[in-house]
Amino acid sequence: MKVSQSDFIQVRGLRYHIRRWGRPDAPQLFMLHGWMDVSASFQFVVDCLAQDWQVIAPDWRGFGLTQRGPADVYWFPDYLADLDAILQHYAGQESVNLLGHSMGGYIAGLYAGVRLQRINKLINLEGFGPAVSQPDQAPGRYAKWLDALRVAPVMHGYASEAAVAERLKKNNPRLTNARAAFLAQYWASETSSGKWEILGDPAHKLINPVLPKVDEMLACWRQIHAPVLCVEAEDTDLWRWMGGKDVMRAEVDRRIACLADARLVMIAEAGHMLHHDQPQLLAETIERFLADQKT
């Protein structure tokens, strides 16, 4: 495995953990993880990259080794502002190559449509956004949020690091024993009681009271002029939160059509955690795109 190192920097009042692989003078590639994940999740893809890259991957606020946010719910504008500060810290005013998976891809797409000059190339790994919502869902959404605030959320504990690895394999049956064992040590930590707890703020489990606005996301996407590589897993379960299998295909295609310069690549024999399932194939796809070759 390629060795990573940890930086801890101040980002908007929080102590942020940034994982870095590669030489400091190598070309930069920023990677953004998804919900209930951590930066170490990209280890397998980084190991498969053929070119020398300085890969820079933060743990989002409230995940991994990054400090938790001060509020009782997490807001997407904070992720955008955190990313803006992180890119400024590591890249100054230079344009960057930015990759995001799932929630990280959603954040990256919004950001690329706001900071147009900041993005050289964008890689979206199944970060196609949430299901379409309707205004008449708002009353129920607010009520559900208020009810949830009455009981403090908790993260489930595990008896051992091996039990954490088994939980990861339950989430993704394609995950090998070795990869599950590697991820478990970064996904959870041992407490003073001897239990292993997930390194994620329980507040992430609370529903956000504000309905996701897909139309606003697509308005940002329409502003993106950088080339975009959209990567989808052949056996994805995106349909679970995008309105069902019948709806998903047409909806994903509708969203990608909003991008001025986009290409879609399908990764075979992979689920939503495609960077775990097919890291070699994904790394090759990423590097072809970044080299501006046909993907």
Instruction: Report the chain's mean pLDDT, rounded to a whole number.
Output: 95
Domain for residue 177, yes or no?
no
Distances (CA, A) of 4 to 19, 62, 63, 233, 288: 6, 21, 18, 27, 24
Q: Please give the residue that has the higher pLDDT: either 72 or 57.
A: 57
Domain for residue 220, yes or no?
yes
Domain for residue 8, yes or no?
yes
Mean pLDDT (whole number) for 5-15: 98
Please give the pLDDT value at position 220: 98
220-273 tens-digit pLDDT: 999 999 999 999 999 998 888 787 888 888 999 999 999 999 999 999 999 999
Domain for residue 231, yes or no?
yes
Residue 74: which domain range?
4-134+213-290
Domain for residue 144, yes or no?
no
* Statement: residue 156 has pLDDT above 90: no
Lowest mean pLDDT among 61-75, 117-131, 169-183, 230-244: 230-244
Q: CB-based contacts of 138: which residues, under 8 Å, 6+ apart?
A: 211
Q: What is the CATH number of the domain that holds 81?
A: 3.40.50.1820
Domain for residue 147, yes or no?
no
Left (φ > 0), alpha (ψ -120 to 50) or beta: where does 135 sit? alpha
Domain for residue 42, yes or no?
yes
Please give the pLDDT value at position 11: 98
* Statement: residue 20 has pLDDT above 50: yes
Please give the pLDDT value at position 295: 44
Please give the pLDDT value at position 72: 87
How far apart (Å, rounded) are the C-alpha atoms in residues 68 and 3?
26
Mean pLDDT (whole number) for 274-290: 98
* Statement: residue 28 has pLDDT above 60: yes
The 3-class secondary structure across 185-252, one letter per residue, is HHHEEECCCCCEEECECHHHHCCCCCCCCHHHHHHHHCCCCCCEEEEEECCCCHHHHCCCHHHHHHHH
Q: How many domains does the chain have?
A: 1
Please give the pLDDT value at position 244: 80
How buried is residue 24: exposed, middle or buried, by Cβ count under 10 Å (0-12/13-18/19+)? exposed
Please give the pLDDT value at position 241: 78
Mean pLDDT (whole number) for 272-293: 95
Dihedral sign from CA coordinates of 215, 107, 289, 276: negative
Domain for residue 270, yes or no?
yes
